Amino acid sequence: MSLDEIKADIKAIIAEKSCGPIFIRLSWHDAGVYSTGKLTGGCPNAAMRFTDGGEGTFGANAGLPDVGISFLKPVTDKYVSSGVISNADLWTLAANVAIEAMGGPAIPTRFGRTDAKSSAESVESQVGRLPDGDKGIDHLREIFHPKGFTDKDIVALSGAHTVGKCHADRSGFDGKWTEDHLSFNNGYFKEMLAKEYADETTAQGCPQKKHGASGTIMLISDLALLDAPFREYVDLYAKDQEAFFKDFVAAWVKLQENGCEGLRDTL
């Protein structure tokens, strides 16, 4: 069982289910709980597998334990159960395969993450660890700076919103960020600059911004990137997709490896 075989099986699922975006979100929320600020600890350990408590029950992770993990089940049964790869490494790899399969950059994946054995290995809460879509610059910095990210990194990572969409029954927000939401490119930044958005409140009571003609949305946390000093990177990435890809890969790999030790280049 080789790495190429695992990648091929992941690609087949993505092609059949159009589930690349949720694989990205699964890895991001698994790894994104890491912090070194007022809160410490956290790492990509696939704790969301357990829904009796902990990360598998966080509101921010709605849809991941039941939908995201379920899409990966055939690969999990084939490779994790036989000890070839851990769940946490598989989630990392699936996200990276998805990004490239949707037209994004190739992302190096290192291995050696250890799976949580129970929900008790979760962090205590999503609060202060995962960002809220209805808040602005100060909140983004409070979340991302303790993870070791710069303002530029925040903008680059936000560019992952170029794919996927919000589901009202999960986050309370509703809609896709870009018109071509299954293509990983710099469309998020281009559309943010080109469109005018009006205030809207979803049926779940969440404030968001909507472009009337296309129906695409932006969250308050997205449009906060139009303020200085974030704006210079939005402008750059809208003009230069390669610059976006380069900075995204650097920040994304850091996100996926935060809190990990002894990672290796091979399975």
Q: Would you please indicate which residues are annotated as catalytic (active-site) residues?
A: 29
Q: How far apart are CA 220 and CA 205, in angstroms?
A: 14
Which residue, among 180, 189, 182, 243, has the nearest Cα to 218 in the 3D structure? 189
Residue 66, CA atoms < 13 Å, CB-side half-sphere: 9
Q: How far apart are CA 174 and CA 201, in angstroms?
A: 9
Q: How far apart are CA 114 and CA 43, in angstroms?
A: 9
Give the strand pairing for 207-210 and 35-36.
unpaired
Q: Provide the 8-state DSSP code for 83.
A: T
- At residue 262, φ and ψ (nearest 5 deg) are 65, 30
Which residue, among 80, 227, 233, has the nearest Cα to 158 in the 3D structure? 233
For residue 247, CA distances in Å to 3, 184, 191, 233 come to 26, 14, 19, 10
With b meaning 16 or more CB within 10 Å and e meaning fewer, what string describes 230-242? beebbebbbeebe
Q: How many residues does the chain have?
A: 267
For residue 82, CA distances in Å to 72, 87, 197 come to 15, 11, 49
